[in-house]
Chains A and B, each alone.
Chain A
Amino acid sequence: MAVPDHLTLWRGYVQHRPVEPAPLTPAQCKALRGPARAAHEDARLDWINADVALTTSDLTAISDRIRLLTVQNRVPSATARPGLAISGAATLGKSTIALNVGRNYERKERRRLGDGSDDIAPVVYVVVPPATTGKALMQRFATLLGQTYPPRATTQQVRDLVVATLRSMRTSLVIVDEVHEVRTNRAHGAEAASTMKLFAEQIDATFLYAGIDLPSSDLFFGAYGASLRGRMDVYEMSPFLAHRADHVEEWREFMQASESHYGLHKHSVGDLDVHATDLMRVTGGSLGVLRRILNRAATAAVLDGTERITKASLNRAGADLDGPATVPRHLPELAARTGS
């Protein structure tokens, strides 16, 4: 599924619910013949690689905060509304969490409002394009909503159009991903930041930003940056660390949840516990990287019929458990700590 940065795609993303295949015993699986067997295998592979977010402490904490903020912000207010910024290194799962929070919020909001129609859009999700200007940012919002705007429309005209549309569609959560792309130390970046600030002031919605290392990014510097920083709670996502017992415990729980999700016939939940710290080491404590390796290994286990994830299959999936500790370049803090 493509990044749901258009209203139609977003609605498809919200409505999409991966279907878990019927849990069959190995004997029942073997008894299947021809197309039935192929269909069952395809369903299992789809389920293994499905866009299912497993619960983590970050996901729970961010969901709780968003729930709190959206309830607070539901009351009409003349002043700027508080928002949340998810910050952290790449591949830690910021976008995954933002998307999941948005999806769950939209489902709840539609239930609350009793409106499943296309007339409302409780959540909009936008990805900031690189080196964006204020006008480009507003045009991005207009495009994602499916709005057309006159060719010579000014930034203000497009912003007014977007604001009016979002108000009509009762939008109450705006997710802005890759927000670090707004660089306020350049003229067009500053314009984008100021546009974003004015935009946020005009809509009765909670803003959720996600981006790389936001506290030290350009977005939170300068006059507008300070104003923005003042109204945003920053949630810092950090990689899992091997010397923190609570991190190791949660890491292991995540692995077990993944093992349970895959439903491999010859694999029991907890079989991978012995490799937990090694996997944490080689992935740099990134759940995104871990999930990718485990998905690859589980897919291979179904395709080759072994139905089990082993150290060898993890290595084949790119883990390299016997190799030296490799800290991804995008995790500078960890690299400094481990001295690699």
Chain B
Amino acid sequence: MNPVSPLPIRVRLAHGESLDSYAAALARANHQSVHDIEAALHAQRVLTSRARSSPQRKALWRALGALHARAFTTPTHLHGVTVRERTLCPHCARRDAYGLRPDVGAVCLTHRVWFGTTQPVPDMALSIAAERAFRRHVAPFAHTGSPIWRLAQECALTTTDPDMLTAPGQGTDIQRVYPETVAYARLILSPPFLRVLSNADLPRRDMVSIIGDRVTPLSSGTDSWRAQTRLVDLSRDLQSPGGVEKWGLTAACEAAKALSSQPSSARRADLRRAAGPTAVAS
């Protein structure tokens, strides 16, 4: 049994919130500092580890906040890629909080704001549809810190009409091309396209042609070749040893291979199963 009793003033744990963010909020609500509380626990010999990420420290803060056992168990690595901490939606958390949300893209669907800000999403319908697509099709295999996501962003930024990026409106360039980014990420992670990219037997000319056919509808500018070039480079990488791991696409490629022989009706369910659990624990 944990000898620590909960602190009197409780603070709600935000979904995916990290230990440091929660500890600071809980200590502040109780008119203390994290340092003072941990010093007291060290003095009582309840906390013996000085490591910030020690399981003991996590367990003690769970007890201090009267939290469930799944708190602070969000995976820090998904598909071999580190999940980065980011600012959580201040409306959802009801305070400033940060943590790991690999299951969410750039939009808070509940509050219709850019994730981590109070800034409303300007192109509402498109961005929300893109966010839904991200959660359904991209999140099982990648997150916003994945190399594949950065590649999709590059493709979207380079192929979008420059007039659209410079037009007056809210948001950064990356926010403006969010729907296109999701579309590129979704294309790359789609099993048929992944099979094409990783198929070493396919003649280069055919591959370039297929990539071009798929990329052209996604680009609003005249520079679709920029995205095409990047995807051709990606295919080269994926066909070389260690390339799949480097891009964090092991799970996606395995799922694509496994689904290649199945009828389309069963694919979606199997795709999800193959991706494994991606839901955030806390």
Q: Residues of A with Cβ closer than 8 Å to B?
A: 6-8, 118-119, 121, 145-151, 160-161, 164-165, 168-169
The CA of A8 and the CA of B64, in the complex, are separated in Å by 13
Q: Are A149 and B8 also in contact (CB < 8 A) when A161-B31, A161-B32, A165-B30 are?
A: no
Contact between B31 and A164 (Cβ–Cβ < 8 Å)? yes
The CA of A173 and the CA of B40, in the complex, are separated in Å by 28
Q: Name the one of B31, B37, B44 contacting A168, with C-beta atoms under 8 angstroms.
A: B31
Q: Name the one of A119, A148, A151 contacting B32, with C-beta atoms under 8 angstroms.
A: A148
The CA of A7 and the CA of B43, in the complex, are separated in Å by 23
Does residue B39 face the partner (Cβ distance < 8 Å to A)?
yes
Q: Are A150 and B40 also in contact (CB < 8 A) when A118-B10, A168-B9 are?
A: yes
Q: Name the one of A6, A121, A145, A148 contacting B37, with C-beta atoms under 8 angstroms.
A: A148
Q: Which residues of A contact B7 (CB under 8 A)?
A: 146-148
- Give the shortest distance, in Å, between B40 (CB) and chain A (any CB): 4
Contact between A119 and B40 (Cβ–Cβ < 8 Å)? no
Instruction: Give the contacts of B3-18 with A (CB-CB under 8 A).
Output: 5-10
Q: Which residues of A contact B6 (CB under 8 A)?
A: 8, 146
Q: Which residues of B contact A149 (CB under 8 A)?
A: 32, 36, 40
**In the complex, number of A-B residue pairs with CB atoms less than 8 Å apart:** 50
Q: Which residues of A contact B5 (CB under 8 A)?
A: 6, 8, 146
The CA of A7 and the CA of B66, in the complex, are separated in Å by 14
Q: Which residues of A contact B40 (CB under 8 A)?
A: 148-151
Contact between B8 and A146 (Cβ–Cβ < 8 Å)? yes
- Give the shortest distance, in Å, between A260 (CB) and chain B (any CB): 40
Q: Name the one of B31, B37, B41 contacting A165, with C-beta atoms under 8 angstroms.
A: B31
- Give the shortest distance, in Å, between B120 (CB) and chain A (any CB): 30
Q: Which residue of the partner chain B has the closest CB to A8?
A: B5
- Give the shortest distance, in Å, between B225 (CB) and chain A (any CB): 59
The CA of A151 and the CA of B35, in the complex, are separated in Å by 12
Does residue B200 face the partner (Cβ distance < 8 Å to A)?
no
Residue interface bits B182-214, CB-to-A below 8 A is 1, else 0: 000000000000000000000000000000000
Q: Which residues of B contact A6 (CB under 8 A)?
A: 5
The CA of A115 and the CA of B127, in the complex, are separated in Å by 39
Contact between A150 and B36 (Cβ–Cβ < 8 Å)? yes
The CA of A165 and the CA of B64, in the complex, are separated in Å by 15
The CA of A161 and the CA of B8, in the complex, are separated in Å by 12
The CA of A148 and the CA of B41, in the complex, are separated in Å by 8
Does residue B124 face the partner (Cβ distance < 8 Å to A)?
no
Does residue B29 face the partner (Cβ distance < 8 Å to A)?
yes
B-side interface mostly: loop
**Residue of A6, A145, A160 ringed by the most chain B CB atoms within 10 A:** A145
The CA of A8 and the CA of B44, in the complex, are separated in Å by 21
Mind listing 26 A-B residue pairs with CB under 8 Å?
Answer: A6-B5, A7-B8, A8-B5, A8-B6, A118-B66, A119-B9, A121-B8, A146-B5, A146-B6, A147-B7, A147-B8, A148-B36, A148-B37, A148-B44, A149-B32, A149-B36, A149-B40, A150-B36, A150-B39, A151-B43, A161-B31, A161-B32, A165-B8, A165-B9, A165-B31, A168-B9
- Give the shortest distance, in Å, between A2 (CB) and chain B (any CB): 14
Instruction: Give the contacts of B22-40 with A (CB-CB under 8 A).
Output: 29-32, 36-37, 39-40
Q: Which residues of A contact B31 (CB under 8 A)?
A: 160-161, 164-165, 168
- Interface residues of B, CB < 8 Å — how many? 19
The CA of A148 and the CA of B32, in the complex, are separated in Å by 9
Q: Which residues of A contact B44 (CB under 8 A)?
A: 148
**Residue of A8, A148, A149 ringed by the most chain B CB atoms within 10 A:** A148
The CA of A6 and the CA of B8, in the complex, are separated in Å by 10
Q: Name the one of A8, A150, A169 contacting B9, with C-beta atoms under 8 angstroms.
A: A169
Q: Which residues of B contact A119 (CB under 8 A)?
A: 9-10
- Give the shortest distance, in Å, between B59 (CB) and chain A (any CB): 15
Q: Which residue of the partner chain A has the closest CB to B42?
A: A151
Residue interface bits B140-183, CB-to-A below 8 A is 1, else 0: 00000000000000000000000000000000000000000000
Contact between B39 and A168 (Cβ–Cβ < 8 Å)? no
- Give the shortest distance, in Å, between A135 (CB) and chain B (any CB): 15
Q: Which residue of the partner chain A has the closest CB to B39?
A: A150
The CA of A149 and the CA of B32, in the complex, are separated in Å by 8
Closest 9 CB pairs of A and B: A151-B43, A164-B31, A148-B40, A145-B8, A146-B5, A150-B36, A146-B8, A150-B39, A148-B37
Q: Which residues of A contact B36 (CB under 8 A)?
A: 148-150
18 new A-B pairs (CB below 8 Å) besides A119-B10, A146-B7? A6-B5, A121-B8, A145-B8, A147-B7, A148-B36, A148-B37, A148-B40, A148-B44, A149-B36, A150-B36, A150-B39, A150-B43, A151-B39, A151-B43, A160-B31, A165-B8, A168-B9, A168-B31
The CA of A150 and the CA of B31, in the complex, are separated in Å by 13
The CA of A113 and the CA of B176, in the complex, are separated in Å by 46
- Give the shortest distance, in Å, between B234 (CB) and chain A (any CB): 52
The CA of A317 and the CA of B29, in the complex, are separated in Å by 52
Q: Which residues of A contact B29 (CB under 8 A)?
A: 168
Q: Which residues of B contact A165 (CB under 8 A)?
A: 8-9, 30-31
Q: Which residue of the partner chain B has the closest CB to A6?
A: B5
- Give the shortest distance, in Å, between A141 (CB) and chain B (any CB): 11
Q: Which residues of B contact A145 (CB under 8 A)?
A: 8
The CA of A149 and the CA of B31, in the complex, are separated in Å by 11
- Give the shortest distance, in Å, between B9 (CB) and chain A (any CB): 5
The CA of A7 and the CA of B5, in the complex, are separated in Å by 10
Q: Which residues of B contact A7 (CB under 8 A)?
A: 8
